[in-house]
Structure 1
Amino acid sequence: MGTAVGGGRAVPRYVQIADEIIQQIRAGVLKPGDLVPSESELVERYGVSGGTIRKAMVEVRASGLVDTRHGKGSMVKDRPPVRLRSSDRFRASHRRGGKAAYLAESALAESAQSGAMAKVSVLYIGPMEAPEGIADRLGVPAGTQVLARWRLYFRNGVPVETATSYLPWDVVKDIPQLFSEDPGPGGIYARLEDDGHTFAEFVETLTARPASKAEASELALSPGAPVVHLLRNAVTEAGRVVEVCDTLMAADQIVFEYRIPAAAD
């Protein structure tokens, strides 16, 4: 049964309950570290069945505001400050100043927020066969050898993003810094430009979806929590894609801000 609200639309009872719990978290009634009331407590409080409460908690977990552990219940997350991802992070001046895109955007976030600490953990650097979708973007056959750089990003000790860069082997084979954990000031884009690959544009495609079980584990999320999947092509003035970055981000940790010039034709 649903309850009629504005416009005559019925809102299921489990959605109402989920919304109330989410609002309690956002209002600070339930604070970071607090346990959400148990299923039996919620059944008694709302006078509904256990099945209704279980459906409500699916919605609460999908909000990304709680962390659920088997046998321990659901705990309100201690959420670090949101990290701002600005379109300005790819400015050439950042590379010339020795800042990679991630550190550039972190600095931008710190100027507007509370100055959280950013950290990058490199998980793998080496050859890999290009997956089909990545190969299409790079303009090479699927299975072609490419260089993969897989990283996990943290903010205040919390994993917020995983990213893998795929670069054409013929482009990187003579740039030894790209095989190092630290490619030097300005990051991999600066090293590519040093080698003559001047960038014309960065093209990003974003989609939102629930995290898989493996993704949720990697980013310390509850199963089904929302994530943002971003694919970026780094395109040179010659029109070649010299890097595809496949990135997955915890949706509740990220704010996107894009500056779009309103230039005349």
Structure 2
Amino acid sequence: MESPVPHEPPIYRRIADRLRQAILAGEFRDGDRLPGENALMSEYGIARATARQALAVLINEGVAVPRRGSGVYVRQFRPIRRHGSRRLSREQWGTGRAIWDSDTTGRPYVVDDLTVTRETAGEDAARVLDCVEVWVRRRRYSVDGRPVQLAASHFPAELVAESPITVPDTGPGGVYARLRDLGHPPVHFTEEVRARMPTPEETAKLGLPAGTPVIEVCRSAYAAGGRAVELNKMIMDAASYVLQYDFDA
């Protein structure tokens, strides 16, 4: 009895596979324009709809991004390795270093869209922080010129009132060093992690291609005695991160 012939994937999928292999091999680099619909039609003798499908595969994978009226471009990015425990250690912020220095390991990063406001606590902040009003620090982080994370840190208003936490520049070591100065240094952290699709606002602020999910990390920081001193909600471009957590057996 003859063995069945393996089913060959459709032509648009095979073209997408070849383009992906070319990207991984370095033939196309981050920001390079991929062959357009006309070029693919000529090279493979296919219809425009098929060429469009091939490019759509890469766009939906987050490997490429379309630019209206210009073409489809490679979207490669060396992932940020976010080490869950090391980045939050007292050795990091306690010596005046920024947490993000641990994440980026020398890569250039920028913080923008920074706002600091006093607000009525939302449901999650009121529950975790046990307060009615909070100071909220919202910002966006970009690495190598690409937006990768949105963050909103909430602090009990009465705890941080008139401290550097309520102004844009918190000084060396960031908010955790300033909480230490207030007599409430964090001694324990809890993080909850989930993946989801982004909201339209998140898609716009992070410049996400269609179909790219985000990672939502919700971190609570606790001082001695179990008092919650911060609730930080972070939205990350899932294609830009590797989350690393170390555990003892």
TM-score range, shorter chain: 0.7 to 0.9
User: Which deviates more, 56-65 or 116-125?
Assistant: 56-65
Partner of 1:261: 248
User: Which deviates more, 176-185 or 153-162?
Assistant: 153-162
Partner of 1:240: 227
Give 5+ residue unaligned stretches, structure 2: none
1: CA distance, partners of 2:159 / 2:201 = 32
Partner of 1:229: 216
SS of the counterpart of 2:226? coil
Aligned sequence identity (%): 33
Partner of 2:87: 89
Q: How does 1:142-181 map to 2 (within 5 A)?
A: 144-173=132-161, 175-181=162-168
Question: Does the CA-based 8 Å contact 1:39-1:53 persist in structure 2?
Answer: yes
- Is 1:131 matched with 2:122? yes
2: CA distance, partners of 1:202 / 1:11 = 47
1: CA distance, partners of 2:220 / 2:60 = 29
Question: Does the CA-based 8 Å contact 1:122-1:150 persist in structure 2?
Answer: yes
Partner of 1:112: none
Q: How does 1:46-57 map to 2 (within 5 A)?
A: 50-57=48-55
Give the TM-score, by structure 2 length. 0.83
Partner of 2:60: 62
Partner of 1:220: 207
Question: Does the CA-based 8 Å contact 2:114-2:168 persist in structure 1?
Answer: no
Equivalent AA in structure 2 for residue 191 of structure 1: R
- The structure-2 alpha-carbon separation of the partners of 1:19 and 1:99, relative to structure 1 and needing over 3 Å to count, comes to same
Give the TM-score, by structure 1 length. 0.78
1: CA distance, partners of 2:190 / 2:17 = 36
- The structure-2 alpha-carbon separation of the partners of 1:138 and 1:63, relative to structure 1 and needing over 3 Å to count, comes to farther
Question: Does the CA-based 8 Å contact 2:62-2:210 persist in structure 1?
Answer: no
Aligned partner of 2:188 among 201, 226, 231 = 201
Alpha-carbon distance, 1:147 to partner: 0.8
C-alpha root-mean-square deviation of aligned residues, in Å? 2.7
Q: How does 1:18-29 map to 2 (within 5 A)?
A: 18-29=16-27
- The structure-2 alpha-carbon separation of the partners of 1:54 and 1:90, relative to structure 1 and needing over 3 Å to count, comes to same
Equivalent AA in structure 2 for residue 178 of structure 1: I
Return structure 1 stretches of 4+ with deviation > 6 angstroms.
none
Alpha-carbon distance, 1:50 to partner: 4.5
How many residue pairs match? The answer is: 244
